Amino acid sequence: MAIPNMQIPSRQLFIDGEWREPVKKNRLPVINPATEEIIGYIPAATAEDVDIAVKAARRALGRNGWGSTTGAQRAKFLRAIAAKVLEKRPELATLETIDNGKPWFEAASDIDDVVACFEYYADLAEALDSKNKTEVKLHLDSFKTHVYKEPLGVVGLITPWNYPLLMTTWKVAPALAAGCAAVLKPSELASITSLELGEICREVGLPPGALNILTGLGHEAGSPLVSHPDVDKIAFTGSGPTGIKIMTAAAQLVKPVTLELGGKSPIVVFDDIPNIDIAVEWTLFGCFWTNGQICSATSRLIIQDTIASQFLDRLLEWTKNIKISDPLEEDCKLGPVISRGQYEKVLKLISTAKNEGATILYGGERPQHLKKGYYIQPTIITDVDTSMEIWKEEVFGPVLCVKTFKTEEEAIELANDTKYGLGAAILSKDLDRCERFTKAFQSGIVWINCSQPCFWQPPWGGKKRSGFGRELGEWSLENYLNIKQVTQYVSDEPWAFYKSPSKL
């Protein structure tokens, strides 16, 4: 497949089904992390635009609008969006790559997931029609009760930059399937493909206001969305500190939130793995895929001491073989991290690890052959102590730290030695042991003999400080539905609680 060249389309805010200039007319630069060049601009929304978008969303939910559509009608729009995304797959993948830095083929596979996700939620929207009124059996004949599932209302969706259009889709597709009207605030570091979703919604004739897209800074556009009194729910994926701010602001209005806040996930490798190369590859993929910027990255390798030396030797050979290049180059397997800020943050975490006494077994620097761009070599760190920052803090870059263990108990203790609880992986031939680890891991996701594969049908989310709530699958739809109990008195007899006055 030829990789198309693309310029960043010039867009405005997508509000009420049309492109609108932000009230304050501000714009933010778009930087290609592979070249450090400004390649375009995005509009910078502020509280004024948030208010306009929220009003448009509320109108869309009005009597004859988006809010009164059937699931089957909404499914048609979701399928039309999926078809358009598929049609534009090569262009969207290029836009994702030049905005985010991920290898083009990874971006293209994200776009495939976007298509599948919209189609999946189209099916769930359709199925909702037969499930949105269900009877609840009571112990009395004088009452009848039904439970209705109805759209929750206007929802605010705040997304990160690591899988820009895919994280947008994880929220937009179920929100629209449920019949909510949404205001999306993508990350200012990678908003381009989310804006293109606005164009797609316009092309397929999505009813105005059903989806509004506000690009801009977190404190200028995200924060007023969270504290807007007419927004019924916030779904957020991003950093822990921002998650805390969002939960605090939402609490003032008793606004429900779902939070997906990243992690420091373990991958435990036992010496009974049948094939060392297969295990090494999953270990690399678990941490270095998406340029290492994955919330669920298994960035702590916990390896049985009996094979540690042999495993690390092989891991090094595989790591040296990873092609680091401009992400538009074919076969690129590691591109730059998203921004100068992220580049500096990752290098600082590596240098702190060194200062704290860890060994940089491989990498830790800019690759010599790339003079520009936010590139960092895939990095493996050993001699790690559990008190070190590199063991405890999310890096969000291609950095793997390693510790050895002797016993199963020690491995479990190390795996759970984190404030986070998103993912966890175990590689072992012994499936009984895998089962024991599955139960022992304090996480929302467990991978057995792999790490990172992520499908749209199962639930996704964490525990501990990785947040709460589940995205994907049918679980995500529930996030966007109000469960309404409707109880009807069906007896002809009086209720007879009060003493009846004398007859008229």
Name the residues annotated as catalytic: 260
Q: Give the rounded distance of the alpha carbon of 197 from its chain centre.
A: 17
Of 208, 213, 204, 172, nearest to 65 by C-alpha is 208
What secondary structure letter does DSSP report for 493? S
Q: How far apart are CA 233 and CA 28, in angstroms?
A: 27
DSSP 139-188: S-SSEEEEEEEEE--EEEEE--SSSHHHHHHHHHHHHHHHT-EEEEE--T
Q: Per rule CB under 6 A, is residue 194 in the interface with ligand NAI? A: no
Question: Cβ(411)–Cβ(403) under 8 Å?
Answer: no
Cα(310)–Cα(306) distance, rounded to whole angstroms?
9
Q: Which residue from 433, 454, 463, 464 is in contact with ligand BAL, where contact means CB under 6 A?
A: 454
Choose between 113 and 220: whose C-beta lies nearer to ligand BAL: 113
Measured from the CB atom, is 151 or 164 closer to ligand NAI?
Answer: 164
**Residue 99 contacts Na ion per CB under 5 A:** yes
Q: Which does 99 bind (CB under 5 to 8 A by kind): ligand BAL, Na ion, ligand NAI, none?
A: Na ion
Q: Is 398 in the site for ligand NAI (CB under 6 A)?
A: no
Tokens 């076969």, located at residue? 331
Complex with ligand BAL: residue 132 or 159, whichever CB lies closer: 159
Give the Cα separation of 53 and 68 in Å (integer).
Answer: 19
**Residue 222 binds: one of ligand NAI, Na ion, ligand BAL, none (C-beta under 5 to 8 A by kind):** ligand NAI
Part in contact with ligand NAI (CB under 6 A); list of ranges 51-59, 260-268, 301-309, 363-371: 260-268
96 binds Na ion per the rule CB under 5 A: no
- Tell me the residue nearest to ligand BAL as measured from the CB: 295
Q: For the purposes of burial, counting CB atoms within 10 Å of the CB of 498, is it exposed (0-12), middle (13-18) or buried (19 or more)?
A: exposed
Q: If you search the block for the tokens 């509280």, which residue do you land on?
A: 47
Direct distance between the N- and C-terminal alpha carbons of the chain, in angstroms, rounded to an integer: 86
Q: Which residues contact 118 (CB under 8 A, 6 or more apart)?
A: 78, 79, 81, 82, 85, 169, 173
Using the rule CB under 6 A, which residue among 160, 286, 327, 469 binds ligand NAI? 160
Q: Which does 233 bind (CB under 5 to 8 A by kind): Na ion, ligand BAL, ligand NAI, none?
A: none
Q: Which does 242 bind (CB under 5 to 8 A by kind): ligand BAL, Na ion, ligand NAI, none?
A: ligand NAI
Stretch that binds Na ion, among 5-13, 29-37, 364-372, 395-403 (CB under 5 A): 29-37
Task: Pick the closest to residue 466 from 441, 440, 444, 439 (CA basis).
Answer: 444
| 188 binds ligand NAI per the rule CB under 6 A | yes
447 is a contact residue toward ligand BAL (CB under 6 A): no
Pattern 148-187, ligand BAL, x by CB under 6 A: --------------xx------------------------
Residue 296 contact among ligand BAL, ligand NAI, Na ion, none, beta carbon within 5 to 8 Å by kind: ligand BAL
- Torsions phi, psi for 327 (to 5 deg): -65, -10
| Residue 166 sits in the site that holds ligand NAI (CB under 6 A) | no
**Residue 345 in the binding site for ligand NAI (CB under 6 A):** yes
Among 242, 290, 298, 304, binds ligand NAI (CB under 6 A): 242
- Is residue 281 exposed (0-12), middle (13-18) or buried (19+ Cβ within 10 Å)? middle
Nearest to 304 by CA among 278, 277, 283, 273: 273
Q: Catalog residues that contact ligand NAI under the rule CB under 6 A.
A: 158-162, 185-189, 217-219, 222-223, 226, 237-239, 242, 245-246, 260-262, 295, 342, 345, 394, 396
Q: Catalog residues that contact ligand BAL under the rule CB under 6 A.
A: 162-163, 237, 294-296, 454
